[in-house]
Amino acid sequence: MEYYSGKINQLIEELAHLPGIGAKSAQRLAFYLLNQPEENVKRLADVIVDAREHIRYCRECYTLTDREVCPICSNENRDHRTIMVVENTRDLAAYEKTGKYEGVYHVLHGAISPMLGIGPGDIRLKELMTRLQQDVGEVIIATNSSLEGETTAMYISKLIKPTGIKVSRIASGVPVGGDLECIDEVTLLRALEGRVEL
C-alpha cells in the first residue's frame, strides 16, 4: 500500500539505494529535503552532478580528485620513495587525519576476493607495479585486516619481494574484520608506527 504520491515514493526509493540508508532513513531524508528552501535543494543537486562530472582518478595514486594529479602526489614535500597501499580513498583520508604519514599512497579500489569473483586484475595492482619501476624504497601495505585485505597483502608482498624493495605491513591494533575508515586516528597511528617487514 502506497502512503505517498508517486514523486515522493520515487525520491524515497532513490535515497534508499545509497549505502547505509534504509527505508526509514530514506523517508526521513526525503521529507527533510522537501522541507528545505528550493535553492538549497538545487545547490545540493548541482554539487552532486558537478562532482560526478569532474571527479576522476589521480594519474599517479588513483585516489579520487578533481585534478589530473591529486594534492598529495603533487606535493614536493612528501616522501615519494614511500608508498602506502590502501584499499580505497576513505582509507587514505583516515591515514591523512593522523597528520604523521609523510609518504604518498596507492589506492587499489578494492581487495582480492575469490568468493566475490574479484581477482588481482580487478584492482589497481598493475598500476602499482608500474609505479615501483621508479625510485621507491618502501611499500607499506595498509589493507584492511579482513580475509580479503590479508589475501591482498600477501599477494602484493609476493609480487614486490623479488624487486628488492622493502615491503612492510601495518601492525596490529587494527581489529580483524574492521574497516580502516571507522578506526580512530590513535589506533591508526600505532598501527603505522608498529608496522613490520613482510
**Claim to verify: residue 107 and residue 169 sit in the same structural domain:** yes
Q: Can you give the pLDDT of all 198 residues of the chain as single tens digits?
A: 466 678 899 999 999 999 999 989 999 999 999 999 999 999 999 999 999 999 999 999 999 999 999 999 999 999 999 999 999 999 999 999 989 999 999 999 999 998 899 999 999 999 999 999 999 999 999 998 888 988 999 999 999 999 999 999 887 666 666 677 777 776 777 677 777 777
Work out the burial of residue 182: count CB atoms within 10 Å of its CB; fewer than 13 is exposed, 13-18 middle, 19 or more buried. exposed
Q: Which residue has the cell 579520487?
A: 64
Type of residue found at 127:
E
Q: What is the model's pLDDT at position 186?
A: 65
pLDDT computed for residue 6 by the predictor: 83
Q: What CA–CA distance (Å, rounded) separates 106 from 108?
A: 6
Find the CATH number of the domain harbouring 19.
Answer: 1.10.8.420
Q: Are residues 150 and 190 in the same domain?
A: yes
Is 69 a member of any domain? Answer: no
HSE-up (13 A, CA, CB side) for residue 73:
20
Quote the pLDDT of residue 118: 93
CA angle at 113 for the pair 157 and 70, rounded to the nearest 5°: 65
Q: For the domain that residue 151 is a member of, what is the CATH number?
A: 3.40.1360.10
Does residue 186 share a domain with residue 130? yes
Which structural domain, as residue segments, surrounds residue 29? Answer: 6-54
Cα angle: 156, vertex 160, 164; to 5 degrees: 155
In a domain, 40, yes or no: yes
The candidate with the shortest Cα–Cα distance to 150, out of 178, 186, 183, 127, is 178
Tell me: do 40 and 83 sit in the same domain: no
